[in-house]
Amino acid sequence: MMAILMITVLFIAIFHFVYDGIVLPSIRQHLRNKLYALRDELRWLKINGIDHADNAAFELVHDAINTFANRLPMLTISVRQSFEREIKHNTQLQHIIETRTKTIKSCRNSDIQRIYAEVNNILETVYIANAGGWFIYIVPLAILLGTIKHIAAICGEIALMPTHQMNKLIPPPDRSLTC
């Protein structure tokens, strides 16, 4: 049993190493390239001329892309939790975010709004990808907890089963064979 546990832990560690060291950097680079493509598209909109009222939205989306393009590895669940705590306790930050959200929503250029939505989708994907190496630790734990909960429910039902039904499912032990 201990050997199986050690082999399982070794397999999980190898998976984590391969994912975090080989697969994840490639995923991040692909997503970074998507951000750069969106930034190029956004700049092309600006070159072709956007309405003066949409300049603020353009700047917000452009700055967001530039800010996150090289920070993708840092988008983790713990950073997200810190961000949520900061927003919850910092009313000035709440106001700034509300103002910027209104700027994006009031933008009349649908391409800028679409690019903003795509940037958000990329950042969500990055959060999931960055947490992906930990999923192999969480999934077995979730399965184990689910199984234990299911067994507990079954045991509660078995304890209340009538004896004659229990004897059909689990015949009583043959007392003549015991010491």
Reported as a single tens digit per residue, the pLDDT across 141-171 is: 888 888 888 888 888 777 787 887 878 878 8
Of 95, 25, 99, the closest CA to residue 56 belongs to 99
Residues 95, 61: contact at Cβ < 8 Å? no
Per-residue pLDDT reduced to its tens digit, 105-129: 999 999 999 999 999 999 999 999 9
CA angle 90, 93, 98 (to 5 degrees): 125
- Residue 100 confidence (pLDDT) above 90: yes
Task: Characterize 136-155 residue by residue with b for buried, 16 or more Cβ atoms within 10 angstroms of its Cβ, and e for exposed.
Answer: eeeeeeeeeeeeeeeeeeee
Cβ neighbours of 76 (radius 10 Å): 14
Q: What is the DSSP string of 114-131?
A: HHHHHHHHHHHHHHHHHH
Largest Cα separation within the chain, whole Å, is 95
38-77, pLDDT tens digit by residue? 999 999 999 998 889 899 999 999 999 999 999 999 998 8
Residue 160 DSSP class: T
